[in-house]
Chains A and B, each alone.
Chain A
Amino acid sequence: MPIQSVNDFVVRFANVNGSGSASANELFARAVLRMGVPVAPRNIFPSNIQGLPTWYEVRISQAGYLGARGGTDLMVAMNPQTWDKDVAGIEPGGYLLYDSTKPMPRSKFRDDITVIGVPLTAICNREYTDPRQRQLFKNIIYLGALSALLDMDVAEIEKLIAEQYKGKEKLFDANKHALHLGRDWVMMNMEHPIGLRLQRANAVGDRIFIEGNSAAALGAVYGGATVCAWYPITPSSSLAEAFTRHCNRLRVDNASKQNKFAIVQAEDELASIGIVIGASWNGARAFTATSGPGISLMQEFLGLAYFAEIPAVVFDVQRAGPATGMPTRTQQTDITSCAYASHGDTKHMLLFPEDPAETFDFGAIAFDLADRLQTPVFVMMDLDIGMNHRLCRPLAWDDSRKYDRGKVMTAAALEAGKDFGRYLDVDGDGIPYRTYPGTHPTKGSFFTRGTSRDRYARYTEEGPAYADNMQRLLRKFETAKDLVPRPIQANADKPTKYGVIYFGSTSPAMDEAIQMLEASGQYLDRLRVRAFPFHSSVTSFIAEHDFIFVVEQNRDAQLRSLIVNECGIDPVRLVPILHYDGTPITARFIARAIGEHLDALKITPLRKVVS
């Protein structure tokens, strides 16, 4: 039986990298959105510019599920290279749209799917002679075919094309023409719509559609970052590039036409973090954007920033490691290397945003936290959040908000005779005062160093002075626990002895998994951790439950280790649920994995989770 579904299915486009398919596919996703139906698109692409296979997966969900679902209901198979795998990946009863210009042997298809052949190349070649036009318009032609097959509102697609080519009438007309070539062919030659259909709804609301990297960069603009130093690395490059774009629009002085920002593409990640530390030491808000290998290269500097107490903000858009790993695939895999970055005893603050909107919030807050606590702060994103458009609440800013520059001693305070010890804990919170270079002619200067020093920044190798300083750094870390974003707890409707801890991009899949589990009578309280160091509520949440599942996207259960280590928890009570093949975690995976554990624990009757 062909699948019948309205506003709830997955379309997957299989393309060749560099063929111009990305903009047509994105147009499709946006058109669905304009019809008031939530979508969650995901780029699945190789580390390559031209020629290798690439996929664009669009999950359409009126219910608003934005996590990856897994499986494909409609495959738009435009890449002969991956044909077999693509056809095999279609759900039973699903659909296959392909270019039927060249006849395919029957053995290349499946009996349990609906095959839709549209002679795209033939239509294209009849219409166009220029090879590049043939390639680009073929994408728009299949979009036109889809619009008829799925019963889409074609006016919405036309409106989007008009917005895209505003002021370029010729291009608009050409694209519109191509769209209708595909649409008309389907309308004249085949039964339509198919069992998968789109219907206008009102489920999007005022939400926006933005990539996490762009939102993070906006957070840095709003958070007052003036210095950005970076080295190109997937999947973080577009964050620094977005910062450049936003700054050029929002941060150029009207009168002088000069920039209220400085962006340096450095020679490597060591220089990037060095520039950030130099700028922060000198009182500017500075950040870098990188990924796992960059974090590895920054280790020495991060230890210096921890020990010398210099603010720094690092956006880590995580990808699959180790080594070069899978540079265009997603993972949550730098938790340990960031939390304990560098040699010696170190601990760093981590923030775990769940989506672009929270990435904006945390992107701005990170600068306040770094200044307040005078230490590096990592915004732990990943490729899934960073490089995909995600539907999320609108970005918000309170105009009464002031930047928290932390404890900075001014010339006036020094002049008034206030005792200044760079590493002196005057308030009992472990946070000392600092001065910016050039503050006062004779007071407040100090020598910043990575070597051990006393409370007045004087070099010393005395054991007690060293230990005193290391203890104060721990006190400061304690203080941080109440300053970082708190975990968010949501309890099941029924009392349960089981809980789940998750974080970051797992969020949408988790929400959906909870509903799947509840549908089969399995209840879990949940806690979304949003920062490290962990707030005391993490420990109490664990204490309140017999077993806790810790869901994460890495092999070694890095967050779980951090919890065991930092909260003193018996590891037996934390059950790891791990997804690390480089694809985004799905609700199906979580529900199945947790369901199996719960079944094994015999706490509910053996019941299969929907899969």
Chain B
Amino acid sequence: MTYVVKPKFHHPELPKNKLGYTHRDYEGKISTLCAGCGHDSITASIIEACFELSIEPHRVAKISGIGCSSKTPDYFLGNSHGFNSVHGRMPSVLTGANLANRDLIYLGVSGDGDSASIGLGQFAHAMRRGVNMVYIVENNGVYGLTKGQFSATADRGSKSKRGVTNTDSAIDMVGIALQLGASFVARSFSGDKKQLVPIIKAAIEHCGAAFIDVISPCVAFNNHAGSTKSFDYVREHNEAVNFLDFMTGRAPIHVDYAPGTVEMVEQHDGTVLALRKLNAEYDVHDRLAAMSFIAHHAALGQIVTGLLYVEQDASDLHGHLNTVAAPLNALGEKELCPGSAALDKINASLR
């Protein structure tokens, strides 16, 4: 843990994005997590994705639950409002925030304890409702803040640092997200920034419930031999199905990839994802096939990563509820109060 104040000066020629911001404008407070923590790499990827998309930091709302992962929103986008809420309840807080103002970008950050154990219910229902958000689970299979207990995503047979073998079945959050109707589902690895950054960017642009399971080894409690969430294990068993070259804008796209290796995926809002296929048979539009493919590989001990499913015509909760285009939090008496004349009519109908 570092406790020095983060210096503000930076290299004068640091690259700037369309808004004229540098990376530094997307940073937050200095991390208080352990040196080498996978979560810090995810933080860096979020910063990179927001920088590359030229997002105005204050237009993002960062919401988390409780745990190591849930602390991280303090470490990126310092000019965004953040909300470190209640253990396992980030999804409901985010849902409410999203309903209040549909114009912001909602970034939910959670962990495996937060989302797969105490918060499994809220995770599931936020997916079902299609809340327009990026839901990142920083998945390390262990309770870090309470010093090394198994979490619900720990694989059966994996060993804890104290040498105890886990006998419970693991919850696969990707499988659940797919089953419950998430319209964008991906898995990545905190150690693979090249894969993760484009996935986060695509998830931000996606209109609907976007879920990213990021395997993020815990250097303090779950990075030993016998663990299936260690850096070494994940590297050895990573089965990437595709690689995302993220593109945006609606201009015609010219690419020089060999035929059959790249798929252009146009999203509902007109943005286009260029998907470089690593596994020619994998179809990102087939929810059921994705579920089967992932389960099959999991049985072989492989961790399937990449963009696993995307629904091109996804809809979101605001669409389902048919809410007005203006943010609800911007409406005042004029728009909301029916006035005394309407009340007189109601009174008359009650006599």
A98 CB, nearest partner CB in chain B, Å: 33
B residues in contact with A251, CB < 8 Å: 336, 338
Q: How far is the CA of A468 from the CA of B329 in the complex (A)?
A: 31
B21 smallest CB distance to A (angstroms): 10
**Across the interface, do A278 and B321 meet the contact criterion of CB distance under 8 Å?**
no
Residues of B within 8 A of A256 (CB): 324-325
With A284-B328, A448-B84, A450-B84 as known contacts, state yes or no: A271 contacts B323, CB within 8 Å: no
Q: Does A218 contact B (CB under 8 A)?
A: yes
Contact call B340/A279, Cβ cutoff below 8 A: no
Q: Does B41 contact A (CB under 8 A)?
A: no
Residues of B within 8 A of A196 (CB): none
B332 lies within 8 A of A263 (CB): no
Report the nearest B residue to A411, measured CB to CB.
B58
A281 within 8 A of B: yes
8 Å CB interface, B22-70 against A: 56-59, 61, 63
Q: Is the CB of B81 within 8 A of A262?
A: no
Name the contact of B333 in the complex, choosing from A206, A224, A268 (C-beta under 8 A): A224
Partner of B336, one of A260, A275, A277, A441: A260
Q: With contacts A226-B331, A281-B83 known, is A301 near B89, CB below 8 A?
A: yes
Whether B337 is near chain A, meaning CB under 8 Å from some CB there, is yes
Task: Tell me whether B122 and A399 are in contact (CB under 8 A).
Answer: no
**B83: chain A residues within 8 A (beta carbon):** 278, 281, 447-449
Shortest C-beta distance, A115 to chain B (Å), equals: 36
Q: How far is the CA of A258 from the CA of B328 in the complex (A)?
A: 12
Does B339 sit at the interface, judged by CB under 8 A?
A: yes
B311 to chain A, nearest CB (A): 21
A contact residues around B121 at 8 Å (CB): 267-268, 271
B326 to chain A, nearest CB (A): 8
Interface contact B324-A445, CB-CB below 8 Å: no
Q: Is B161's beta carbon under 8 Å from chain A?
A: no
Smallest CB-CB separation from A300: which chain B residue?
B86
Kindly state the separation between the CA atoms of A261 and B336 in the bound complex, as whole angstroms. Answer: 9
Closest A residue to B77 using CB positions: A445
Contact indicator B96/A442 (Cβ below 8 Å) = no
Counted as pairs of residues, one from A and one from B, with CB atoms less than 8 Å apart, the total is 227
Which of chain B's residues 316-348 have a Cβ closer than 8 Å to chain A? 317-318, 321-325, 328-329, 331-333, 335-340, 342-344, 346-347
- Tell whether, in the assembled complex, residue B63 and residue A278 are in contact, meaning their CB atoms are under 8 Å apart: yes
Interface centre among B57, B74, B95, B329 (most CB of A within 10 A): B329
A147 at the interface (CB under 8 A from B): no
Q: Is A569 part of the binding interface, using a Cβ–Cβ cutoff of 8 Å?
A: no
Interface residues on B, range: 35 or more
The reply to whether the CB of B351 lies closer than 8 angstroms to some CB of chain A is yes
Interface centre among A256, A394, A398, A435 (most CB of B within 10 A): A394
A394 touches B58 (CB 8 A): no
Query: B267 at the A/B interface (Cβ < 8 Å)?
Result: no
CB interface residues, A 395-445, toward B, < 8 Å: 395-399, 401-403, 435-442, 445
CA distance A279 to B338 in the complex (A): 22
A282–B322 CA distance with the chains assembled, in angstroms: 20
Please state if B100 and A286 are interface contacts (CB–CB under 8 Å): yes
Nearest-CB residue, chain B, relative to A279? B96
Q: Are A264 and B95 in contact (CB under 8 A)?
A: yes
Q: How large is the interface on A (under 10, 10 to 19, 20 to 34, 35 or more residues)?
A: 35 or more
A282 to B106, CA, bound (A): 11
Whether A262 pairs with B82 at a CB distance below 8 angstroms is no
Tell which of B104, B346, B350 touches A437, judged by Cβ atoms closer than 8 Å: B104
Cβ contact of B97, chosen from A224, A258, A281, A459, cutoff 8 A = A281
Least distance between B334 CB and chain A CB atoms (Å): 10
Cβ of B73 under 8 Å from chain A: yes
Whether A274 is near chain B, meaning CB under 8 Å from some CB there, is yes
Q: Looking across the interface, which residue of chain B has its beta carbon closest to that of A394?
A: B347
**Those of B75-114 within 8 Å (CB) of chain A:** 78-86, 89, 91-101, 103-104
Question: Is A210 interfacial (CB-CB < 8 Å)?
Answer: yes
Q: Indicate whether A250 reaches chain B with its CB closer than 8 angstroms.
A: yes
Contact partner, B99, options A262, A270, A397, Cβ 8 Å: A262
Residue of A nearest to B336 (CB): A224
Query: Are the CB atoms of B92 and A396 closer together than 8 Å?
Result: no
A404 to B99, CA, bound (A): 21
Q: Is residue A222 contacting chain B, with contact meaning CB distance below 8 A?
A: yes
A258-B325 in contact given A251-B336, A437-B81 (Cβ < 8 Å): yes
From B73, B96, B129, B342, name the one whose CB has the most chain A CB atoms within 10 angstroms. Answer: B96
Closest chain A residue to B99, Cβ basis: A262
Known: A262-B99, A264-B129, A438-B101. A397 touches B340 (CB 8 A): yes
Known: A258-B323, A267-B121, A448-B81. A304 touches B339 (CB 8 A): no
Q: Closest approach, in angstroms, between the C-beta of A189 and any C-beta of chain B?
A: 35
* A282→B100 contact, CB < 8 A: yes
Contact of B331 among A260, A267, A271 (CB under 8 A): A260
- A278 touching B100 by the CB < 8 A rule? yes
B193 within 8 A of A: no
Bound form: Cα–Cα A283–B339 in Å: 22
- Contact (Cβ within 8 A) A399 B339: yes
State how many angstroms separate the Cβ of B8 from the closest Cβ of chain A.
Answer: 13
For residue B37, give the distance in angstroms from its CB to the closest CB of chain A: 18
> Which residues of the partner chain B approach A253 to less than 8 Å between Cβ atoms?
324
Does the CB pair A441–B328 fall under 8 Å?
Answer: no
B89 touches A274 (CB 8 A): yes
Q: Is B237 an interface residue (CB 8 A)?
A: no
Instruction: Determine whether B125 belongs to the interface, using a CB cutoff of 8 Å to chain A.
Output: yes
Please give the residue numbers on chain A whose beta carbons come within 8 Å of chain B beta carbons, in ascending order: 206-210, 218, 221-222, 224, 226-227, 229, 250-251, 253, 256-264, 266-268, 270-284, 286, 300-301, 304, 394-399, 401-403, 435-442, 445-451, 459
* A-B CB proximity, top 5 nearest: A278-B96, A274-B92, A284-B100, A437-B81, A283-B329
Given contacts A222-B343, A304-B85, 15 further A-B pairs with CB under 8 A are: A221-B336, A224-B333, A227-B328, A258-B324, A259-B321, A264-B321, A278-B93, A278-B96, A283-B329, A286-B100, A399-B339, A437-B97, A441-B79, A445-B82, A449-B84
